[in-house]
Amino acid sequence: MLRRQFLQGVVALAAVLAASEGRAQPASGSEDAKLRALLDAFFEEDLDGAPEFATALGLDVGAKAGLRSKLSDGSSAGRKDWVAAHRARLTRLAAIDGAKLTPAGKTDRDVVAYAYTRVAEGGERFTFGESAAGFSYAPYSPYVVSQLSGAYQSVPDFLDSQHPVKTASDAEAYLARLAAFPAALDANTAGLRADAARGVLAPDFALDATLAQLTKLRAPAGAQSGLALSLAGRATAAGIAGDWAARAAAIVDSSVYPALDRQIAALKALRPTATGDAGIWKIPDGDAFYAGALAFQTTTRKSPDEVHRLGLEQVADLSARLDVLLKAQGLTTGSVGERLTTLSKRPDQLYPNTDAGRAELIAALNAQTEDMRARMPRAFRTLPKSPVEVVRVPPDIQDGAPNGYATPPTLDGSRPGRFYINLKDTAEWPKFALPTLTYHEALPGHQWEGAIALEATDSSILRRAGLGFAAYGEGWALYAEQLALELGAYEDNPLGEIGFLQSMQFRAVRLVVDTGMHAKRWSRARATDYMVETTGMPRARVQREIDRYCIWPGQACSYKIGHTEWVRLREEAKVRAGSRFDLKTFHDVLRQGGMPLVVLESVVQGLFPA
Average of pLDDT values for 499-516? 98
3-state secondary structure of 390: strand
Give the E-state strand segments of 344-394 in sequence order. 388-392
- Residue 24: band (very low, low, confident or very high) from pLDDT cuts 50, 70, 90: low
| Paired strand residues for 420 | 391, 405
Task: Find the helix packing angle between 558-577 and 597-607, rounded to 10°.
Answer: 20
**Residue 411 pLDDT class (50, 70, 90 cuts):** low
Average pLDDT for 480-485: 98
Q: What is the average per-residue pLDDT within 436-464? A: 86
**Greatest CA span in the chain, whole angstroms?**
70
Q: How many C-beta atoms surround the C-beta of residue 307 within 10 A?
A: 23
**CA dihedral angle for residue 317, residue 322, residue 327, residue 329, rounded to 10 degrees:** 160
**Nearest alpha carbon to residue 191 among 245, 263, 291:** 263
The Cα–Cα gap between 564 and 153 comes to 33
Percent of the chain predicted with pLDDT > 90: 82
Phi and psi (nearest 5°) for 464? -65, -35
The whole-number pLDDT of residue 58 equals: 77
3-state secondary structure of 404: strand
| pLDDT category of residue 567 using cuts at 50, 70 and 90 | very high
The torsion of the CA quartet 98, 103, 108, 110, rounded to 10 degrees, works out to 60
Instruction: Tell me 543's DSSP state.
Output: H
Distance CA 592, CA 246 (A): 47
Torsion 580-586-587-591 (CA) sign: positive
Which range among 69-83, 297-311, 389-403 shows the weakest confidence by mean pLDDT? Answer: 389-403
The arithmetic mean of pLDDT across residues 464-493, rounded, is 93
For 274-320, write each residue's pLDDT tens digit: 999 999 999 999 999 999 999 999 999 999 999 999 999 999 999 99
User: Residue 134: what pLDDT?
Assistant: 57
pLDDT value at residue 417: 87
Whether 505 and 318 have beta carbons less than 8 Å apart is answered as yes
pLDDT for 7 beyond 50: no
Phi and psi at residue 274, to the nearest 5°: -80, 155
- Give me the phi and psi of 29, to 5 degrees please: 85, -10
**Rounded mean pLDDT, 502-509:** 97
pLDDT value, residue 40: 93
Look at residue 432 and tell me whether its pLDDT is greater than 60. Answer: yes
**Average pLDDT of span 241-263:** 98
| Per-residue confidence (pLDDT) for residue 288, from 0 to 100 | 98
pLDDT > 60? residue 186: yes
pTM of the predicted model as reported, rounded to 2 decimal places: 0.89
The predicted model gives 408-437 an average pLDDT of: 88
pLDDT band at 22 (very low <50, low <70, confident <90, very high): very low
pLDDT score at 463: 84
Sign of the torsion formed by the C-alpha atoms of 386, 392, 397 and 398: positive
Confirm if 403 and 395 have CB atoms less than 8 A apart.
no
What is the predicted pLDDT for the residue at 467? 83
